[in-house]
Structure 1
Amino acid sequence: MANIDDFSSLNELNSVLGIPDGTASSIPFHLNEKVLTCVACSTLEDESLPGYRSLQFKKSRKSSPEICTRCEFLAKVAETCVEQGILQCVSFDLNGEPYHTIFWEVENDNSTGSLVLPRWSNLLWASGSSQSDLESAKSFEISCAPGKPSPFPDIPIRGSKRTSASMADGMNLAKARAWLRACEESHPNCAGVHGVPNLPARVLDVRKPPVRLYEPSPCESASYLCLSHCWGETRPACLTTTETLEANRRGIAWDDMPATFQHAIDVTRRLGFDYLWIDSLCILQDSEEDWQEQSSEMVNIYENSHLTLCATASHDDHGGLFGEISSERRPHEITVEGPDGQLFELLLRTKLSDRHLPLPWGVDHHENRKKYFPLLTRAWVFQERLLSRRLLHFTKEELLFECAELLACECYPGIGRHEYRPKHSEPLDKRIVSLSQAALRASKKMPENLEEAAALEIDETPWVRAVECFTALSLTFPRDKLPALSGVAKQIQKRMRPGDEYLAGLWRSTLLADLCWWSVGFKQVPQRWRGPSWSWVSIDGPIVMNKFRQRGMNDFCNVLDASVCLAGPDAMGEVKSGQVVLSGTICAGRMKREPHVDHKILRRPRSGARQDILLVVNGEERLIFVDCLDYLDDGTVTVGQEIFCLRTGLYHDADEFCLILKQAARVGTCIPNEESCYERVGYMMGHFEDLDRWCEGKAMSLIKII
């Protein structure tokens, strides 16, 4: 948000406010009466609407000396929109006259005394002027079409008018080139590799028709782009397989490629690049060996890409980069009289909240992403987005750009003297992980003990947040659970956990804490085994990683050994088996299912119509949670079965996290019927007094979990 300190001269400030040059030119900023007396954008405090400025007006409103030229123009825009039915006015004063209010958010503290100017892309429209009206307000933005004069220098200029059905009509990549150039020239965190990177094993050569699959020689270097896309249900004829490999080397027929591929090739050429990497064309789709090898290289492929093109609004490869814009979502064209009496042609968009990249990644805003940004619901894309140095998103309304230092779209351009970033935008969503920025700044010191590791983990390290967000996303092939996060794991190991060992989604140095995950929301057992029961990989659906600390020396549980057997060459990829060996205190009990309220667990009493799952130890009942409700239907666990509570010693408040185990039914890595071999089926939050009583007199035992 702009304030006085953003401007190098009074004339520059006046030009933004619409005050003619020379007005009060000798008066310091803080004495400029035109600025300070504006009832809307001055620093006058409105206690009823903390954090916001507002401009209220009626149809019969006359120009007022208390409103600056900028706010006067904003009022004219609103009146024009009301007259054309773009914005609705349904509130009336005591005299029966309709009135409405425009709000804009204040980003700086009022105590600083800074002047806060309304930003043209950060406006809210409401009928009425109270807090309740603000809560139901609709967002809108004002911009100029390219080539058209602007009444104020800080009104954004859109890349194209986008008032036709297709975003491709009049597509102007000038804004994308400006973002890319600014990133290349001034963002040190986006520099990537030194010099020109080596090309992947296969790329598309798009320099001239026909496009062909090119296999460069080892160490051949050139800049290239990547495509991030949703495959969809159908497979195009141009997919590369062992049978089509030779034909694709000679050339791929244009009509055999779906719209998304065609658009990506067109954009690659228009941005001045010769090579493009598309996974379904550059990896043999019927070769397990080639898939294992190339998927393990994803971290290098995306990180070395100069730019990743994202078909963010398309559900499948036939949707293209641009898509169709429905009539109600196209910008409205309006003409408004400016400060000097000149008529200006403007573009106005409403209902912006469902159009920008939703933040954060997790389960938040999932339905919004699914509807407007389907690409961002895919688990593979989570990795592609985090590994890429730069991304250019194609949505139905506009272009968006991401890198390690900038998140911008055509209405929040992010570069230029008078173009301001929105308050909520953070490059690559720092709440998750910015591998090129946040991780590089993080300490590379390995935790020396579990207590130190738990202290780090409770602050939501990048890995913890990444796993939580990743598991809420969708996979077409369940076997891809580990490979789809392999590249992120490699970067975390390289930059934050050097020398640590990756164990099916967990880390050896923090293994006991990492075992303390639990599932949330919808979850199910995958159709095929893909990970040991102690790993979150073993189930589908969102999970939450550990949030627990260790109470002094852990006398209850210690990790003695852990190992996994890999299914391929990728140390962070698929696994065939795995085991964890612990020394701990274990209590046997029986499973029970009936309505129950555990007053020692912080949760609301529920209706007796729902049956809870309980652990009964020595006649005492405690609430437990199975990792997946399918376990109760497929016979994994049954009512009355003997189950076991393993105390970990990791706690939150007065409750300790306990693993709920059953004796292993499969042979796996264990001797059949071996009493110390278990599988995880759930967890329990046990009150420390109960656990002390249950474990009193019990010796530590050897526990193997598979």
Structure 2
Amino acid sequence: MEEQPPSVPQIVLPDGWNSISPGSSSFLGPVCEGCGWDGDPLGLLGGFGYVNLKALCRRDCIRCQIIALLIETIIRRKREHISYQSCMCFFHGNHIVFVGQDASHFCKKVFLFTSTHSHKTEVPRGIPSSPPERIDTSTDASLLWAQEQIAGHQHCCQPVGADSFVPTRLINVDPNSLNGDVALDDCAPTGSRYVALSYCWGRKTQPCQTTSLTLPYHKKRIPWSTLPKTIRDAIDFTRKLGIGYLWVDCLCIVQGDKEDWERESGRMFDVYRSSYVTLAAVWGKDSNSGLFSSSEGFKPILLANLCLNNQSWPLYMRRYHEPISSQYLSRTGKYPLFTRAWAYQERLIPPRVLYFTAGELAFECFCHSACECGLQYSDLAGHPRRILFEATQTPTKSIGPRAQSNEIAFRNQWLRETHAGIDGDQVTWSSRLTDSQKAWWGMVYRYSCLDLTNVSDKLPAIGAIARQFQTVRPGERYLAGLWSGSLHRDLLWYTRGVDCQRLETAPTWSWASISGFVDPNLGPTDEVILSVEVLDATCCYVDDNPFGVFKSGFLTLRGRLTPCWLREHLRDRVLGTVYHWRSGLIITSDVRIDVLSKVLSCKLLRRVYLLEVGRGAGRNSRERYLLILGRKSKVHQKYFRMGILIFRPDLWFTGHGKSAGSMNTALDRYSPTKTITLI
């Protein structure tokens, strides 16, 4: 039961509150000097505005009455030392923020609502409605809420051509004559609606999988008793939605069949992008956890009774929380699904996602998010899902998977096809990233710290997102996690941890060849003169699909190559020291090694080569951006990436008393131009 003040105040709403059209002059009157409300019911708690609490003077103003009751309740319950003179109030969307102006730095966010179970009639306009304090996501009430959210956003975010795609296999959730069992269907009609499931497998082997042996049996029947609880709950929910098909990876992809997995993993974009809705089991640690949950944590406080037309509605207040969205859930760090790399694109690509959290349902599309408790949020600017949605609205010609040739070759003309500028014989590129470039690296940054059971999935697990970005990067080529239009800049990533391992899932020049956390932020802050030419870039993929499984790739580069020696160490966050004996050059700061040796020794020197990618073009820009390479074959001039460094001669210790200018001269003198292959 909710806690109540000693006596419940009554707030009387004017007649016609629910019947007169929004903005009608019948309600609009003199703007309240205290709270700024103009009398419009829909603006009672909505919008954004500053409230001068010192001027809460109109006793007939409904908003003033509500704010006064809120302050009195907060003071009484929290024993906060606040007053009208020391507090500001902001109406922001559907919640209210109180901020102290004194040294206490008091801040309180509250959410106001009325119960959806108070009456069968329409609740007063301008007052959000919410379920009672206990929510059980398995109930019909939660189902109805989900149906309303899905129906309200059924077409606004649907991609063009989505109705024509049907996955290779789907689970028929309501086949005839199977007495509740389900079956695998590889002949679903074109245009069939289906639900997709995103969930954690867990560490144990899936109790029910489709393999080459079970495939013919699953096409006839999948016994209900063999299915894990999460999949059973998803089937139940799909049936209640009135949808005939469900896609689940462990059943719709043939497990243990490399050819089938490589083909189907390259289609994840289409699978999730074309789904009617994706169910995300965010709180379960494995497939036996289930979808549904219940919560009693809302504990609303009865603030007042709203009286209208001889009826009353309780006005509650409770602690505000952010509207549940993929960004909010991932920041909390307590949901297992949001630690999984595969699940990252599974929540960004679908047009509609229904999150089953530990306590309530939440819904998210490309432009709106809401949770079952009543909070809603429609401003998703900058949200990764919003960025992907805007990509689909861009009227540009996309390059399909097969249109991107396996043999991606582009000569010197490639430089002029990008956004780089030409200045005489010098090619420059601006350090200012486009929105799509920033968004891509932001997603790579977050994706790289997520967990993968199979490291070979590194590129396929983000392939659907990459394919979406192709829409806003027309004419560019996707190169194993990097893009041709910003290739020089993209090469300047670095690792953030000391426990990273080198993978064979991508070329060494790609961030996808590293098992740990990568960051793109070592790039230039000013205009840069390019020091290396890209003569060739070749990437080969399974099924000619650049967004699927990587097979091989290389870059042919021409630039200054400086032979040096590297000593690895881990001291004061410095990972190594680079020596060039002939010039006396010593670089000891910010030498970033991709993968540290298992045994770090201050006496061990390794032969390395510095390849300059670019140098600062501004008057005060003296940085030089270099890759640290190891040589694999002297005969064929094949090299592999080992790390990166930025040479700032005026800031870094260079040794032997040499000046910054002489160090730059020495570096140029001993750096012959060569053509190399970077693998």
Q: Give me the TM-score of the superposition, normalised by structure 1.
A: 0.75
1:72 equivalent in structure 2: 65
Per-residue CA deviation, residues 442-477 of structure 1 (Å, 9 max, x unaligned), is: 766997236159549712424333323322332222
Per-residue CA deviation, residues 632-679 of structure 1 (Å, 9 max, x unaligned), is: 3257998422322211115486254533324335xxxxxx44373222
Matches within 5 A, 1:479-498: 479-493=456-470, 495-498=471-474
1:436 equivalent to 2:412? Answer: no
Per-residue CA deviation, residues 198-249 of structure 1 (Å, 9 max, x unaligned), is: 4211111112543423323386441111111122222342222223323322
For 2:528 and 2:79, how far apart are their aligned partners in 1? 63
Q: Tell me the number of residue pairs that the alignment of Structure 1 and Structure 2 aligns.
A: 612
* Paired residue type of 1:492: F
1:510 equivalent in structure 2: 486
For 2:574 and 2:479, how far apart are their aligned partners in 1? 35
Partner residue of 1:291 out of 250, 261, 270? 261
Matches within 5 A, 1:270-281: 270-281=240-251
User: Judging changes above 3 Å, is the alpha-carbon distance between structure 1 residues 28 and 201 closer, same or farther for their aligned structure 2 residues?
Assistant: closer
Deviation of the 1:405 alpha carbon: 3.0
1:344 equivalent in structure 2: 313
For 1:579 and 1:352, how far apart are their aligned partners in 2? 49
* 1:102/1:123 contact within 8 Å kept: no
1:614 equivalent in structure 2: 577
User: Judging changes above 3 Å, is the alpha-carbon distance between structure 1 residues 481 and 697 closer, same or farther for their aligned structure 2 residues?
Assistant: closer
User: Judging changes above 3 Å, is the alpha-carbon distance between structure 1 residues 358 and 444 closer, same or farther for their aligned structure 2 residues?
Assistant: same
Query: What SS does structure 1 have at the residue aligned with 2:639?
Result: strand
1:104 equivalent in structure 2: 90
Per-residue CA deviation, residues 140-184 of structure 1 (Å, 9 max, x unaligned), is: 4534234536774222223x43516x4324543233222222223
* 1:211/1:251 contact within 8 Å kept: yes
Deviation of the 1:583 alpha carbon: 0.5
1:426 equivalent to 2:426? Answer: no
Deviation of the 1:134 alpha carbon: 5.3
For 1:334 and 1:252, how far apart are their aligned partners in 2? 50
* 1:531/1:538 contact within 8 Å kept: yes
User: Judging changes above 3 Å, is the alpha-carbon distance between structure 1 residues 152 and 500 closer, same or farther for their aligned structure 2 residues?
Assistant: same
Matches within 5 A, 1:23-34: 32-33=29-30
* 1:82/1:89 contact within 8 Å kept: yes
Partner residue of 2:495 out of 506, 509, 519? 519
1:472 equivalent in structure 2: 449
Partner residue of 1:167 out of 137, 140, 146? 137
Matches within 5 A, 1:177-192: 177-185=147-155, 187=156, 189-192=157-160
Matches within 5 A, 1:48-67: 53-54=50-51, 65=58
For 1:643 and 1:131, how far apart are their aligned partners in 2? 59
For 2:598 and 2:12, how far apart are their aligned partners in 1? 67
* 1:302/1:308 contact within 8 Å kept: yes
Per-residue CA deviation, residues 261-312 of structure 1 (Å, 9 max, x unaligned), is: 1221122112111101011111112211111111111121112212111112
Per-residue CA deviation, residues 480-520 of structure 1 (Å, 9 max, x unaligned), is: 11011112222333x23445433211233433232122233
Provide the aligned C-alpha RMSD in A.
4.1
* 1:632/1:638 contact within 8 Å kept: no
For 1:471 and 1:441, how far apart are their aligned partners in 2? 27
* Paired residue type of 1:474: D
2:115 equivalent in structure 1: 144
* 1:591/1:616 contact within 8 Å kept: yes
2:598 equivalent in structure 1: 633
For 1:269 and 1:132, how far apart are their aligned partners in 2? 56
2:372 equivalent in structure 1: 410
* 2:429/2:527 contact within 8 Å kept: no
* 1:144/1:155 contact within 8 Å kept: no
1:390 equivalent to 2:387? Answer: no
For 2:435 and 2:520, how far apart are their aligned partners in 1? 9
Partner residue of 1:682 out of 616, 627, 643? 643
User: Judging changes above 3 Å, is the alpha-carbon distance between structure 1 residues 356 and 593 closer, same or farther for their aligned structure 2 residues?
Assistant: same
User: Judging changes above 3 Å, is the alpha-carbon distance between structure 1 residues 178 and 459 closer, same or farther for their aligned structure 2 residues?
Assistant: same
For 1:382 and 1:705, how far apart are their aligned partners in 2? 30
* 1:458/1:549 contact within 8 Å kept: no
Query: What SS does structure 2 have at the residue aligned with 1:172?
Result: helix
Query: What SS does structure 2 have at the residue aligned with 1:578?
Result: strand
1:199 equivalent to 2:166? Answer: yes
User: Judging changes above 3 Å, is the alpha-carbon distance between structure 1 residues 635 and 335 closer, same or farther for their aligned structure 2 residues?
Assistant: closer
* Paired residue type of 1:649: G
1:380 equivalent to 2:358? Answer: no
* Unaligned ranges ≥5, structure 1: 1-15, 44-50, 107-118, 415-420, 596-607, 666-671
1:399 equivalent in structure 2: 361
Query: What SS does structure 1 have at the residue aligned with 2:151?
Result: helix
For 1:518 and 1:675, how far apart are their aligned partners in 2? 27
* 1:564/1:578 contact within 8 Å kept: yes
Deviation of the 1:571 alpha carbon: 2.7
Matches within 5 A, 1:126-137: 129-130=100-101, 133=104, 136-137=107-108
Mean CA deviation greater in 199-208 or 434-443:
434-443
Deviation of the 1:565 alpha carbon: 3.9
User: Judging changes above 3 Å, is the alpha-carbon distance between structure 1 residues 27 and 173 closer, same or farther for their aligned structure 2 residues?
Assistant: closer
For 2:28 and 2:180, how far apart are their aligned partners in 1? 66
2:213 equivalent in structure 1: 243
* 1:400/1:408 contact within 8 Å kept: yes
Deviation of the 1:391 alpha carbon: 1.5
For 1:553 and 1:629, how far apart are their aligned partners in 2? 25
* Paired residue type of 2:442: R
Query: What SS does structure 1 have at the residue aligned with 2:164?
Result: coil
For 1:433 and 1:673, how far apart are their aligned partners in 2? 48
2:657 equivalent in structure 1: none
Q: Greater strand share, 1 or 2?
A: 2
Query: What SS does structure 2 have at the residue aligned with 1:384?
Result: helix
Q: Give me the TM-score of the superposition, normalised by structure 2.
A: 0.78
1:417 equivalent in structure 2: none
Per-residue CA deviation, residues 551-582 of structure 1 (Å, 9 max, x unaligned), is: 5763x211112223435653322334322121
Deviation of the 1:30 alpha carbon: 11
1:543 equivalent in structure 2: 518
For 2:562 and 2:676, how far apart are their aligned partners in 1? 12
Deviation of the 1:260 alpha carbon: 1.8
1:91 equivalent in structure 2: 81
1:659 equivalent in structure 2: 626
1:448 equivalent in structure 2: 417
* 1:17/1:70 contact within 8 Å kept: no
User: Judging changes above 3 Å, is the alpha-carbon distance between structure 1 residues 331 and 285 closer, same or farther for their aligned structure 2 residues?
Assistant: farther
* Paired residue type of 2:597: L
Query: What SS does structure 2 have at the residue aligned with 1:645?
Result: strand
